[in-house]
Amino acid sequence: MPMQFCEDHGALVGCLNGETLRIEAWGKDSLRVRSTMLPEIQKPDWALTEKVPAEKTAVSIGEADHWVGDGTIDKRPIASIENGRIRAVVNFAGVITFYRDGKQLLQEYFRFYEGTVSKESRCLKITSREWKGIIGGDESSLKVRFEAIPGEKIFGMGQYQQPYLDLKGEELELAQRNSQVTVPFLVSSEGYGMLWNNPAVGQVTFGKVYTEWIARSTKQMDYWITVADTPKQILKQYTDVVGRAPMFPEDRMGLWQCKLRYRTQEEVLSVARQYQKEGIKIDQIVIDFFHWTVQGDWKFDKTYWPDPKAMVDELHSMGIKVVVSVWPSVDRKSENFAPMMEQGLLIRTERGAAQTYDYQGDCVEIDPFNPKTREYVWNVCKKNYYDLGIDAFWLDNSEPDYGVYDFENYRYSQGPALTCSNLYPQMYSRIFYDKMKDLRDGQVVNLLRSGWAGSQKYGNVLWSGDVPSTFEALYDQVQAGINIGLAGIPWWNTDIGGFMTDDVNDPDWQQLLIRWYEFAVFSPIMRMHGDRGPYNIPPLDTRDWGGGYLHTGQPNELWSYGEENFRIMKKYYDIRIGMHDYIRDLFREASENGSPLIRAMFYEFPEDKACWELQDQYMWGSEYLVAPIFHLNQFERDVYLPAGKWEDTRDGKIYEGGQTVHVDAPLDAMPVFRKKVS
């Protein structure tokens, strides 16, 4: 029985063997593709939240010649839908082929006796969309396969801790973890972008034979595909439909100060006063975790923070915004645990005890999919933080950070965690964004460790998580920063120097710190943070709870690492402040067309084949070429300069582009070139 086609309000609809397929225009030169084994297409738009103008589409339904296999040809149904430069053709077996400007671009992978689109490997019995029902529910596991494109390069997909910019040949878990941020949008060197518009836990494999997307539990296939001539245009069309970051506030484009962890009100004020004395303006200071009593109380421990309102007022008088850490975990000892548990505001476990997190307590994490949870948590945090003048929230552990990542054991009000857990950090952020956008000046800038497609709309600054303090990790962060920008999230940063440091007195680590700091100057957000050893600072008291018992790290201010390192960091701080207007323009561009601040070389030079191979240098906007240093005791490196004239910002020397140059890289002078405008 072949697929039966019809047109529905400009959309192409096909039905076969219980599956309903729907393809429709969704933005400029773009199509949205959905299918389900349920009676009808489901309603959630997931990341595709923006209103898009109606596009003039052409739907065609007819017949085409089909090779039967015995040398004869018969007629079978075929249908197509066209929206501008993109066209999808669906054959009688439901196999989809996409075309760009009339040329075949991407085709589903199908190897079966009947309905094959080729004469090869028909005995494999592989369908392009493989549904397997999950016993006991209306969800299914789903696999969707596409033919691989020879020579294709794939970028984006969020943030993964690995040393590869080009993701071709990789298998990526579609799940949120500490330092892993799944944002399932890719940019292809073949001139298309694709969003896997499904928050289910799963994986994607960009293989040499085929690409395979897997959702472990879902009710519907949903993806969006667009075509364009350049990555910049692809990002614009993508952010047209999922949304863009708002304009970033100018008073937070400088230095953010943070450490693990400021334990008292006086410690925070003393640090701020010292910065003022040194003549260094910090835009924000962060009060990290366990300033509270127990997890889930979401309030200052009065023993060590006796008058937080007075503290905030003094910091504000210095022009410093104040950020406090909020975790989604609620300890059984918390005053909020019983009412939240009774009202069903916490994550449920399918089996065993009600526990999802076990760091420094017996905790269950909140369920932000539940609007009542969002209201409850905001009301507590507004009373205990926001009403005191707190400006922003560090929404840590926002994956959430499960004690064990057994997604099949957790359930939200939205449904099983397997079906939607990748959306958790975005819903967590909206506890605060949805209220704060209508209060004070409406400028919301909260710091999160995770996000999903569209998180850029909700005032989210993402950072790369608790990464090691190694040169290898620094290299990985450059790949992560470029790829998460290509996935539509421009507000991003790292812990300068990495998070995990054993000995701050180690000169090798201090060299890493300087190299990382230089990179951070040319990053969207410049933030000092880290867990700095050795751990020889005694706790403030002997209680096993409250703001005084947990360990803290060594000092982590600019002056904490000796005079010479302070000189270098102050020099690069001045460089950052001197770029204020340029950085402001980059943030504005991100809000207007979705362009990231950290850009792959090919983003600005798509016609230069060499730029598609580079991953150890990047563009900072359209003008600056940044070449970080990734090895201990490395004081020179090669830099590729695309066509044009380039000025070394350190000495003013002019280079002709279209060549690789070898330049010095002393510890206090990372190579940065500025493109000369004719």
- Residues with a catalytic annotation lie at 396, 399, 466
E strand map for 18-57: 19-25, 30-36
Q: What region, left, alpha or beta, does residue 124 occupy, with left being phi > 0 and alpha being psi -120 to 50 degrees? A: alpha
Q: How far is CA 200 from the centre of its chain?
A: 16
Sheet containing strand 140-147, edge to edge, reads 129-133, 140-147, 210-218, 202-206, 171-174
- Identify the DSSP state of 610: G
| Tally of CA atoms within 13 A in the half-sphere of 458 that contains its CB | 26
What are the residues whose beta carbons fall under 8 Å from the beta carbon of 627, sequence distance 6 or more? 616, 617, 637, 639, 663, 665, 670, 671, 672, 673
The 10 Å Cβ neighbour count of residue 241 is 23
**CB of 281 closer than 8 Å to CB of 250:** no
Sheet containing strand 492-493, edge to edge, reads 492-493, 460-463, 446-448, 392-395, 321-326, 282-287, 255-257, 526-528
Mind giving me the DSSP string for 134-149?
A: PTTSS-EEEEEEEEPP
Parallel, antiparallel, or unpaired: how do β-strands 96-100 and 86-90 relate?
A: antiparallel
- Identify the DSSP state of 366: B
Residue 77 preceded by cis peptide, ω within 30: no
Residue whose token pair is 């599956």 = 19
- Which two three-digit tokens encode residue 509? 């680590």
- Taking the C-alpha atoms of residue 661 and residue 642, their distance in angstroms, rounded to an integer, is 11
Amino acid at 85: R
